[in-house]
């Protein structure tokens, strides 16, 4: 339905600048459920920023899809100008909000065909709209050409420019069937970093020619496909700008992205609370510099109110022109006319056909070599043998979404007589496994923000070598990153069965384990 937006010139300077901010809140309904109080605003704080200042949008994380529908309606009711409602739903709405469709990581499409990218974009947009989200912070169009990348990793569509470009076109085409905004990230390219910009500032030393012939191409491709927004990366590329990181660089955001690549949509920063940018200066100075660089939206500023006043002060002093603010608002207004005012509709969630697509990708993108001999022979509970199901995770406190007592990775081996141990990078070196005759390793590991390097892969490889030497390693499965699997394929002898799944979800677990002989 059409919405009414006020004339930009009728807004005060504070209201104009506030429209350039997107702040974060918890998707759960009540303040006592807030999970990240350093970043997520309370209801009172939100009401002040939305109702009094007029911030332009909100990014949500956590909670169920049904809760999000209620919360987006509530926040829209506080707003004088309709809000952009955003979420990092790179793997479908269910990636962040329970009850909706959760897809395997984008890189899984390389094993099942990029034709699925269109369905992934379509289902994501449909379900986002159903719960009041109108801004999809996807797709990632970074080329993950660095196997050591801790944060992009399987979130990328692939390791070559062709893979990424093909899937990007499909995803955007699918999402464009619904009135939502899409986002290509992270410009000028975050795929060849070995550092997580949530934790520190990565440096890319490539020359301009390398960027033009590789990293820029998926962004030009996304622009041609009609992407609505492009997100900056908090990376330092000295051959593009020897002084500023990309988020704070007029040369990168305005001269290259806006003028040379011809992008006319919204440029948004990545989250300004990330250490890759937040450690460089005060929140106020960073916000002013990002606007001067060409950012239209300041995403998750450390201090929203201080940010608003700092940018207003820069305008009043002449450091930033009023026309510059107005240009950003015109882009934001155009986007809001496209996507705001659509009612929520929870009947669009949980459609069997959407869930079936996600399951199809998850089960088709697995790889299994051989089967476990004693399971094939029917010897599933030999009292003379002491079988162990050793589950290795990145962090035992964050794996509840895919690992619990009912998960196939736990239940199937238990039903076959296996004992269970769960370990991580902090405890794996202290395991005592002498009492076990056969050890089945299941490793859950993938690239994720804020995780850093726990040396989990190296420690697991050391353990696997020891188990091979003592002839105790029975089989191995990796769920998540193919880069985590590669070192083990180099050491596993031909008689050791192994499996791999991009998805860590129950459907993928069951598919792999059944092929290994569990059931």
CATH number at residue 322: 3.20.20.300
Cβ atoms within 10 Å of 478's Cβ, excluding its own = 29
Identify which of 500, 495, 502 has the alpha carbon closest to the alpha carbon of residue 515. 500
394 and 454 inside one domain:
yes
The residue range of the domain holding 450 is 366-516
Last residue of a domain, one of 325, 353, 381: 353
468 and 340 inside one domain:
no
Please state, in angstroms and rounded to a whole number, the distance separating the CA atoms of residues 228 and 405.
42
Last residue of a domain, one of 305, 324, 353: 353
Query: Would 1 be classed as within a structural domain?
Result: no
Please state, in angstroms and rounded to a whole number, the distance separating the CA atoms of residues 325 and 291.
8
pLDDT at 185 exceeding the cut of 80: yes
49 and 129 inside one domain:
yes
Tokens 């394929």 label which residue? Answer: 489
CB 344 within 8 A of CB 69: yes
Query: Would 358 be classed as within a structural domain?
Result: no
Query: Would 2 be classed as within a structural domain?
Result: no
Please state, in angstroms and rounded to a whole number, the distance separating the CA atoms of residues 42 and 86.
17
Q: Residue 506 sits in a domain of what CATH number?
A: 3.40.50.10870
211 and 144 inside one domain:
yes
Active site residues: 198, 270
Which one has a higher pLDDT value, 296 or 30?
296
Q: Average model confidence (pLDDT) for the chain?
A: 94
Q: What is the mean pLDDT of residues 33-44?
A: 88
Q: What is the pLDDT of residues 443-497, one digit of tens each?
A: 999 876 665 555 788 889 999 999 999 999 999 999 999 999 999 999 999 999 9
CB 287 within 8 A of CB 248: no
pLDDT confidence tier of residue 280, bands split at 50, 70 and 90: very high
pLDDT at 1 exceeding the cut of 80: no
pLDDT of residue 199: 85
Please state, in angstroms and rounded to a whole number, the distance separating the CA atoms of residues 444 and 430.
19
Numbers of helices and strands, H then E, in the chain: 19, 14
337 and 447 inside one domain:
no
**Interacting residues of 467 by C-beta distance below 8 A, sequence separation 6+:** 433, 439, 441, 473
Please state, in angstroms and rounded to a whole number, the distance separating the CA atoms of residues 118 and 270.
25
pLDDT at 384 exceeding the cut of 80: no
pLDDT of residue 29: 87
Q: What are phi and psi of 420, to 5 degrees?
A: -135, 140
Please state, in angstroms and rounded to a whole number, the distance separating the CA atoms of residues 75 and 43.
9
pLDDT of residue 149: 87
Whether the bond between 186 and the residue before it is cis, its omega within 30 degrees of 0, is: yes
Q: What is the pLDDT of residues 112-128, one digit of tens each?
A: 988 899 999 999 999 99
The total of structural domains in the chain comes to 2
Query: Would 359 be classed as within a structural domain?
Result: no
Q: What is the mean pLDDT of residues 212-224?
A: 97
Handedness of CA 248, 312, 267, 128 (dihedral sign): positive
CB 230 within 8 A of CB 264: no
Cβ atoms within 10 Å of 393's Cβ, excluding its own = 22
Please state, in angstroms and rounded to a whole number, the distance separating the CA atoms of residues 302 and 153.
27
pTM above threshold 0.75: yes
pLDDT of residue 278: 93
451 and 506 inside one domain:
yes
Lay out the sheet containing 498-501: strands in order across: 367-369, 498-501, 473-480, 438-445, 387-393, 419-423
Query: Would 88 be classed as within a structural domain?
Result: yes
321 and 395 inside one domain:
no
**Interacting residues of 227 by C-beta distance below 8 A, sequence separation 6+:** 172, 182, 183, 184, 265
Q: What are phi and psi of 269, to 5 degrees?
A: -75, 160
Q: What is the pLDDT of residues 305-357, one digit of tens each?
A: 999 999 999 999 999 999 999 999 999 999 999 999 999 999 999 899 999 99
Please state, in angstroms and rounded to a whole number, the distance separating the CA atoms of residues 120 and 182.
13
Which one has a higher pLDDT value, 383 or 173?
173
pLDDT of residue 119: 97
Helix axes 283-293, 304-316, angle to 10 degrees: 60
Identify which of 189, 204, 194, 87 has the alpha carbon closest to the alpha carbon of residue 141. 189
Q: What is the pLDDT of residues 47-105, one digit of tens each?
A: 999 999 999 999 999 999 999 999 999 999 999 999 999 999 999 999 999 999 999 99
pLDDT at 360 exceeding the cut of 80: yes
Query: Would 197 be classed as within a structural domain?
Result: yes
CB 385 within 8 A of CB 416: no
- Beta strands 135-136 and 419-423, pairing class: unpaired
329 and 449 inside one domain:
no
308 and 403 inside one domain:
no
CB burial string 342-381: b at 16+ within 10 A, e below = bebeeebbebeebbebbbebbbebbebbbbbebbeeeebe
Classify burial at 471, counting beta carbons within 10 Å of its beta carbon; exposed 0-12, middle 13-18, buried 19 or more. exposed
Q: Which of 239-248, 355-364, 482-491 is predicted least confidently?
A: 482-491
Query: Would 360 be classed as within a structural domain?
Result: no
344 and 371 inside one domain:
no
374 and 294 inside one domain:
no
pLDDT at 411 exceeding the cut of 70: yes
Q: What are phi and psi of 132, to 5 degrees?
A: 95, 5
Q: Look up residue 407 and give its two tokens.
A: 């998960």
Please state, in angstroms and rounded to a whole number, the distance separating the CA atoms of residues 455 and 231.
30
Last residue of a domain, one of 353, 388, 419: 353
**Interacting residues of 445 by C-beta distance below 8 A, sequence separation 6+:** 392, 393, 394, 456, 457, 478, 479, 480, 481, 484
Helix axes 322-339, 283-293, angle to 10 degrees: 80
Q: What is the mean pLDDT of residues 237-253?
A: 97
Query: Would 423 be classed as within a structural domain?
Result: yes
217 and 303 inside one domain:
yes
């Amino acid at each position: 339905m059409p919405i009414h937006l006020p004339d930009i010139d009728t807004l005060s300077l504070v209201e104009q600048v506030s429209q350039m901010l997107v702040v974060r809140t918890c998707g759960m309904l009540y303040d006592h459920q807030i999970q990240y109080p350093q970043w997520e605003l309370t209801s009172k704080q939100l009401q002040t920023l939305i109702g009094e200042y007029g911030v332009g949008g909100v990014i949500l994380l956590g909670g169920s899809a049904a809760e999000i529908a209620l919360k987006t309606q509530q926040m829209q009711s506080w707003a004088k100008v309709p809000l952009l409602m955003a979420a990092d739903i790179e793997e479908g709405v269910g990636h962040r909000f329970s009850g909706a469709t959760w897809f395997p990581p984008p890189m899984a499409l390389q094993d099942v065909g990029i034709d699925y990218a269109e369905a992934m974009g379509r289902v994501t947009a449909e379900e986002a709209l159903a719960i009041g989200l109108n801004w999809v912070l996807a797709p990632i169009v970074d080329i993950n050409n660095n196997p050591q990348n801790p944060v992009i990793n399987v979130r990328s569509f692939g390791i070559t420019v062709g893979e990424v470009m093909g899937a990007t076109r499909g995803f955007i085409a699918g999402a464009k069937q619904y009135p939502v905004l899409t986002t290509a990230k992270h410009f000028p390219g975050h795929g060849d970093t070995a550092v997580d910009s949530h934790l520190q500032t990565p440096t890319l030393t490539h020359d301009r020619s390398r960027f033009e012939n590789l990293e820029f191409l998926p962004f030009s491709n996304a622009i041609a496909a009609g992407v609505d927004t492009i997100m900056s990366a908090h990376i330092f590329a000295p051959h593009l700008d020897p002084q500023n990181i990309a988020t704070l660089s007029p040369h990168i955001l305005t001269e290259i992205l806006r003028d040379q690549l011809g992008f006319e949509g919204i440029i948004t920063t990545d989250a300004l609370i990330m250490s890759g940018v937040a450690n460089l200066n005060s929140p106020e100075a960073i916000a002013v510099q990002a606007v001067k660089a060409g950012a239209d939206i300041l995403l998750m500023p450390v201090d929203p109110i201080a940010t608003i006043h700092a940018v207003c002060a820069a305008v009043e002093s002449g450091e930033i022109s009023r026309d510059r603010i107005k240009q950003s608002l015109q882009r934001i207004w155009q986007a809001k006319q496209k996507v705001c005012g659509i009612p929520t509709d929870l009947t669009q969630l949980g459609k069997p056909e959407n869930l079936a697509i996600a399951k199809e990708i998850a089960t088709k993108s697995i790889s299994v070599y051989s089967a476990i001999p004693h399971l094939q022979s029917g010897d599933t509970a030999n009292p003379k043998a002491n079988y162990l199901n050793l589950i290795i995770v990145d962090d035992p406190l964050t794996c509840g979404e895919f690992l619990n007592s009912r998960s196939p990775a736990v239940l199937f081996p238990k039903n076959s007589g296996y004992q269970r141990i769960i370990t991580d990078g902090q405890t794996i070196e202290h395991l005592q496994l002498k009492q076990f005759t056969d050890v089945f390793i299941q490793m859950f590991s993938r690239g994720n923000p804020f995780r850093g390097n726990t040396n989990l892969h190296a420690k697991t490889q050391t353990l696997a070598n020891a188990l091979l030497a003592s002839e105790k390693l029975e089989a191995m499965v990796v769920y998540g990153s193919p880069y985590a699997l590669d070192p083990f394929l180099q050491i596993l002898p031909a008689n050791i069965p192994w499996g791999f799944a991009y998805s860590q979800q129950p459907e993928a677990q069951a598919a792999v384990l059944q092929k290994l002989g569990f059931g």
